[in-house]
Amino acid sequence: MKYFLISFFIILSCSGFAQQQDAKQLYETAKGFMRQGDYDNATLVFNRALQQDPLNLEMLKDFAFLNVLKRDFAKAIEVGKTLVDRPDADEQTFQILGMAYKAVADNKECGKLYKKALKKFPTSGVLLNDAGELSAMDGDMNGAINNWEHGIESDPNYSSNYYNATMYYARAGDLFWILIYGELFLNIESYSTRSAEMKSVLLEAYKKLYAGGDVTKLLATEKKANTFEKAFIETLAKSNNLSSEGITPENLGAIRTRFILDWFGDKNNEKFPFRLFDNMQYLLREGIFDAYNQWIFGAAKSPSAYQNWILSHEQEANAFKQFQQSRIFKVPTGQHYREFTFNK
């Protein structure tokens, strides 16, 4: 009898293991169908997998997202609402449900969801970005920029907050923070449709900044400019004479080289440690700063001219490309110099 019971429990254990293995295999198959865009087969296989492992959070999240892709938002909301109440609900769980609410324009429920999410994850860059976008959809631009700025401060390596904040400041005409956030965005998210757009925004901001020939005029419009902003503007103003022949990729290279030399020469880097400027100094030392400036401003001004520049500066262009591919740009916390009162 003893051996019979041991054998019985072994069989039960193996049966449970086999079921888990089957559920795992089905899950992988379902994700494969999702990637192929075959949502009907993905749904079929997900349902079979969830019969075997009905509480698997990752599987349920993907199933909810599948229904967002299928535009079955009612099902996505039904599944998502059960998940966000779980103690193991993560940021992505809230994000997926938020997508479904936005898709059906249920901004009221979506707003409640983000409040709940940010109580649990108050420093989440992705949730602060999504909450900001919801505020913008409701026409509350103060609420939107509050969330995006908070996201930049608390989660400085999530790119979308920089993108949205830059576009907000572009509409508001705040040239200073276009230059800062726009370039930070490009270093974090270097190759996307949004990065191509951002290069043009940066080029136009520099043109407007130097229109009239005196950068310090920006201080008159920045009535509450803080010490970091003042140091940046006053350092950049030393290169006013370099803009006399217009703002071109080549002139911007010279202007920005002068800026980095003066910024570090005046030891502003000790007062205001800043990863972006450290990166620029490194590129200058390595002899690939021109390639970096051409990658931003040359590509924005004329993609064909930029390709010709690459062909005529092959060694420098390849060195810069290799550098970009070999590193991940990371912004340390504590380098947010935008003085902002957050409504948390």
Model pLDDT, residue 56: 95
pLDDT digits (tens, 9 = 90+) for 190-240: 999 999 999 999 999 999 988 876 777 777 565 577 899 999 999 998 988
Nearest to 110 by CA among 93, 89, 125, 95: 95
For residue 145, give Cα distances in angstroms to 22, 129, 134, 201, 337.
Answer: 47, 9, 11, 18, 15
Averages of pLDDT over runs of 10 residues in the chain (344 residues) are: 43 42 87 94 94 94 96 97 96 97 96 97 97 96 96 97 98 93 97 96 93 72 78 90 86 95 96 97 97 97 96 96 93 91 56
Q: For residue 252, give the 3-state DSSP assignment.
A: helix
Query: 117 phi and psi, to 5 degrees?
Result: -65, -40
Measured between alpha carbons, how far is 111 from 131 in angstroms, rounded to an integer?
7
Model pLDDT, residue 220: 58
Q: How many CA atoms are closer than 13 Å to the CA of 254, on its beta-carbon side?
A: 13
213 CB-near residues (< 8 Å, 6+ apart): 240, 243, 244
Model pTM?
0.88
Nearest to 177 by CA among 156, 154, 149, 212: 149
pLDDT digits (tens, 9 = 90+) for 150-199: 999 999 999 999 999 999 999 998 999 999 999 999 999 999 999 999 99
Nearest to 81 by CA among 56, 50, 113, 107: 113
Model pLDDT, residue 342: 53
Q: Residue 296 carries which DSSP code? A: I
Residue type, 218: L
Nearest to 71 by CA among 102, 44, 48: 102
Query: 140 phi and psi, to 5 degrees?
Result: -95, 85
Angle at 234 between CA 232 and CA 240, to 5 degrees: 110
pLDDT digits (tens, 9 = 90+) for 303-313: 999 999 999 99
